[in-house]
Amino acid sequence: MEITKDLTIPKLFYQKAKHYGAAKVAMREKEFGIWRPITWQDYFDHVKRLSLGLVKLGLKPGDKVAMIGDNRPEGLWVEMAALCAGGVAVWLFQESMMEEVQYIIDHSDTRFFVGEGQEEVDKALSIMGQCPKVEKVLWDDPKGLRHYHQDFLISLKEVEKLGAELDREQPDLFEKLVFQGHGDDVALLFYTSGTTSKPKGALLSHWNMLTMGKHLMSVDPCYDTDDFVSYLPFAWIGEQMMSISCGLQIGFTINFPEEPETAQENIREIGPHVMFAPPRMYEQMTRTVQVKHLDASFSKRMLFNLSTKIGYHVADLKFKKKPVPFYMALLQKIMYLIVQKKLRDHLGLSRIRHAYTGGAAMGPDHFRFFHALGVNLKQIYGQTEIAGISVVHRDGDIKFDTVGKPLPQTEVKITEEGEIISKGPSVFLGYYKNPEATEKTLVDGWLYSGDKGFIDEDGHLVVFDRSKDVMTLSDKRPFSPQYLESRLKFSPYIKDAWVIGHEKPYITAVVCIDYSVVGKWADDKKMNYTSYQELSQIPEVYNLVEAQFRQANRDLPDVARVRKFVNLYKEFDPDDGELTRTHKLRRAFVEDRYQDIVAALYSEAEVIHMDTTITYEDGRTAKIKTDLRIQKVPEEGKK
Amino acid sequence: MAKGFLPCGTYHQDYAHDHAWWQTRFVKGKMIFLAIGLFLIIPHLDSYYVGIVNMIGYTILGALGVDLLIGFTGQITLGHAAFMAVGAYTSALMVLEFPWPKIFIHLGLAYPLSILCGAVLAGLWSVLFGLPSAKVKGFYLILTTMAAQFVTVDFIITQYVARIGGRGQAFSLPPGTIKIGPWIIDSPTKVYYLMIILVLLCIGMVANLLRSKPGRAWMAIRDNDIAAETLGINIIFYKLLSFFVAGFIAGIAGAFWISNLAAISPEHFPWSWSLWLVGVILIGGTGSIQGTIFGSMFMVLVMEALQIGILPLADIYPQLLEKFLFVKESTFGLAICAFLIFEPNGLSYRWWQIKNYFNLWPFSY
């Protein structure tokens, strides 16, 4: 399909809806136990009525429509309706803080706020005072909203009714609205999560979104018979990439889970052909497999071990691009039939053709794990500013320490300072109401990413961790704490790890054991414990963790080995500010909070006396007095 | 219906598919194999083996009703043979004694109609003896159902019904009297065909009842009758409905069984046969249709094996031949004891465990 500058997302939507009509299912939503189908005709009708309804309420081309809610068909309808009327879609994360919501709504000049249900409407109500530009608040789920009588509240059903009325009055208005757009018009205003400053709003045009989708699909084609499960926030550019850009061009069926909590189970029912998720999701799957494996019966464990061994061997050969000997291929086939086929079935990956991960670095162990299963997992690199993706692995050319090669028509270069810059049709228009930031990021059509990296001999892009996360020991030898942490976290017993060593003589680590897994392990060994704190300090548990360290230390250069560790008395928790909401470690914060531990790790002390306050989930606080033991990891060979 | 384990990528857009019996190609394939086995292989076996299979089918039909009462409605019954006797005698009398127009008999409609009448009459007779269940339960209900056995078989049938036509105790069924249309049932293979159709129909009926409103009501009554009543379930109606359906199937079983016999007498329906059927569902696993099938197969096959294994020994110990009945009964008792101790959930639970072992592969949960 040809993407011209004249084509817009609504025009493409119109074409596809007319093409498929009532004969093909556009989306499904799980409700009351079945996957309720929504055909392209239904999709079109809803979008048409909603779009005209928004026009009736006063939406003008260029007006912003902010949306917040779970993944539901209605969310996508409203977004498409806003685009059809010439509006600009702004998606907000469900778990955004109040101030953030208020900032984005106010900064984006939003006129229409669309919330899924009572929770979102309450959010809107509490910021209405500070956001005078908001005119109407739309809602979908009536649960709990019976006694809300504010004039500016209106349900999507009523909006559809208004739209139907307007359609009767001016039957050709919708077509006129759809066909007035141009590819360079702004389609989405997406706010990038600012870790340091206020969020910045990236303006993406129809052309940006459509070319990105086209190029990704030219690398990894999908078909309109494919299934895709939409369960990650729409406010994440990756989800827009799949549901809007690729979804519209290919016409695959988008499936919405019953509830966010049932997503994993629902994915298994659907068995998607393509999947894009942050590393966290894949890490969770690996952990599930490992934990269940530990509890499996002897014969099952043996077969599993054998199959993983063969799987790893074949995957490593493929990574090195060496031919797989026929007997290995045969063994792999047999193992696939007796173990891996079933394992993939459990994970919902039976039918997967392409699985993508992006948004953060993923440990090589996890990467190998999926390839050993025969899952075609690939890295994606990109940012919101380039419509989500600019670099991806190609089939059969996957290296787990790189992020792959640039998409067609996309150029990626490294500046003299080592910064990754890219150019292509999907590079955004600029930041909304922020010319200084735009000037800094967008120079001569090149997008400056702020990430450091280099291009290796095969033309693959390698992205370093954000530079502040690359550390050096006191003797100037560098090491990557994230790499070590992801290796440690591959062990099912370790939930979180924090590797320390910046400007220190050697590397140490603070470990949060996985309560349920280690707890089960201790139960089996008939050890007594009453709490996480007590369990973490049992000497046998220390030895168990030490074994994980020895495993991780193996085949690491001497410099990168962990010498001492301590088991923390609690898990890291976003509520305590130790992790971000996306479960990334906030290094500066923990370094400040646990100074005593860091100090003790670099002294001769063997025990740390802790006296701290912890915050429970309900906001109560409690004092904790405890002793933490420090254990050394013996050097290999010296034990 | 418990949906069990479905492979990844199985989803349904409407309830009709969501409730379908066979949802995956694997299950459909299994069913095709089963059908081939049932309709193409077993009928061609030696008539001795077909006879054994017929016995299994008869036991399944009997045990199905018992399982419905004990396993699904929680109403313990020890008088099921009585309702089978009602079906058998109704059918026999209709075939032998009823003044049908000649043409009716020529067309072979008497027997099929008699199966239906026998079933309905047995169902109603069962409801009569189920009436006490409105008031009593547990131990007391067992006694009232036992009363059904003694009143029906030992008193009414032996003293009155069996004497109709002045034949003495046994009703002989001359060859050619049992026919459906032009199809005269006179060989084990033909009995087998009749049996397999009736068994499949009854299993289908019970399985569908169990996943609809009556089935859910029965299970609610079984689990807690007081809670069921507070949920608005008319427990008397559903208990009696359960007795009716159980009796109906017993009637079909009895009416079917005369096609396999040259003569019927009250001795075909002793109290021990009622007890035997309870044993079958205990071994198969109560509250499971598969359990009924497994239990029937187990009991019939073990008894056959016993005969094959023990009778040759009679040359050495002639006593064995005389006392074979006791060997059989004590094996039955031992089997029940062993199952209650080692496999209290029956063979169907073992079956479920085997399936689960592979479904959860390569994990254990």
User: Testing the interface with B: which of A226, A267, A338, A345 to mutate, by most B Cβ within 10 A?
Assistant: A345
Helix (H/G/I), strand (E/B), else coil: A260: helix
* One-letter identity of residue A355: A
Alpha-carbon distance A597 to A611, whole Å? 11
**Considering only CB atoms, which chain A residues are within 8 Å of B7?**
345, 350
* Count of other CB atoms within 10 angstroms of residue B54: 23
Name the packing angle between helices B289-310 and B324-342 (round to 10°). 140
- Report the residue of chain B nearest A35, measured CA to CA: B13
Residue B116 CA to residue B119 CA, distance in Å, equals: 5
Closest in B11, B363, B365 to A35, CB measured: B11
At B342, is the pLDDT very low, low, confident or very high (cuts 50, 70, 90)? Answer: very high
DSSP letter at B166 equals: G
- Which of the 8 DSSP states describes residue A57? T
Domain of B312, CATH number, reads 1.10.3470
How close is the nearest chain B Cα to the Cα of A269, in Å?
5
The interface predicted TM-score (ipTM) is 0.81
For the beta sheet containing A562-567, the strands, ordered from the edge strand earlier in sequence to the opposite edge, are A494-500, A507-513, A562-567, A621-632, A607-615
Higher pLDDT, B33 or A613: B33
Q: Is the pTM of this model over 0.80?
A: yes
**Amino acid A636: pLDDT:** 62
Does B39 map to a domain?
A: no
The proportion of chain B whose per-residue pLDDT surpasses 90, expressed as a percent, equals 70
Is position B2 within any domain? no
A24 at interface of B, judged by CB pairs closer than 8 A: no
Q: Is there a contact between B364 and A350 if contact means CB atoms under 8 Å apart?
A: no
Give per-10-residue mean pLDDT for chain A (639 aa). Answer: 88 95 95 94 96 95 94 95 95 85 93 93 92 94 92 95 95 94 93 72 94 92 94 90 92 94 92 91 90 90 93 91 92 92 93 89 87 92 89 89 90 90 92 91 90 87 67 83 85 91 90 91 91 91 92 80 90 80 79 90 88 72 83 68
pLDDT tens digits, residue range B275-315?
A: 999 999 999 999 999 999 999 999 999 999 988 888 788 88
* CB-nearest partner of A296 from B12, B14, B363: B363
- For B45-101, how does the pLDDT look when each residue is reduced to its tens digit (9 = 90+)? 999 999 999 999 999 999 999 999 999 999 999 999 999 999 999 999 998 888 888
- Residue written as token pair 């109401």: A433
The C-alpha torsion from B75 through B79 and B81 to B87, rounded to 10°, is -80
Amino acid letter for position B295 = G
In a domain, B14, yes or no: no
In this structure, the strands spanning A136-139 and A153-155 are parallel
d(CA B355, CA A158): 51
Contact B13 A34 (CB under 8 A): yes
b (16+ CB within 10 A) / e for B145-164: bbebbeebbeebbbeebbee
User: What residue spans of A295-381 are helical by DSSP H?
Assistant: 298-319, 326-335, 341-347, 364-372
Inter-chain contact A348–B14, Cβ cutoff 8 Å?
no
Task: Tell me which of A30, A268, A303 to substitute to probe the interface with B (most B C-beta atoms closer than 10 Å).
Answer: A268
Domains (range + CATH), chain A: 9-268 (3.40.50.12780), 274-350+352-381 (no CATH), 404-464 (2.30.38.10), 468-632 (3.30.300.30)
Q: How far is B351 from chain A (nearest CA, A)?
A: 19
Q: Report the pLDDT value the prediction gives residue A284, as an integer from 0 to 100.
A: 87
pLDDT of residue B209: 96
> Is B23 part of a structural domain of the chain?
no
CB contact under 8 A, A300 and B12: no
> In what helix (H) or strand (E) does residue A485 lie, and over which residues does it extend?
helix A481-488
Element (H, E) at A600: helix A595-601
Domain assignment present for B294: yes
Q: Specify if B82 maps to a domain.
A: yes
Given a contact cutoff of 8 angstroms between Cβ atoms, the answer to whether B53 and B236 are in contact is: no
Q: d(Cα B349, Cα B331) in Å, to the nearest integer? A: 22
Tens of pLDDT, residue by residue over B6-20, are 889 899 999 999 888
Cβ burial B214-245 (10 Å sphere, 16+ → b, else e): bbbbbbbbbeebeebeeeebebeebbbbbbbb
The pLDDT tens digits for B137-170 are 888 999 999 999 999 999 999 988 888 877 777 8
Q: Is residue B238 part of a domain?
A: yes
DSSP character string of A35-47: EEEEEHHHHHHHH
- Beta-carbon separation of B10 and A34 below 8 A: no
**Which residue of chain B is at minimal alpha-carbon distance from A288?**
B363
Chain A contact present for B2, CB below 8 A: no
- State the pLDDT at residue A195: 53
What pLDDT shows up at residue A526?
Answer: 92
CB contact under 8 A, B364 and A292: yes
Residue A405, number of CB atoms within 10 A of its CB: 19
Tally of domains within chain B: 1
The range of the structural domain enclosing residue B260 comes to 44-359
Burial of A388 (0-12, 13-18, 19+ CB in 10 A): buried
Q: Write out pLDDT tens, residues B202-233.
A: 999 999 999 999 999 999 999 999 999 999 99
Report yes or no: B318 at the A interface, CB cutoff 8 Å.
no
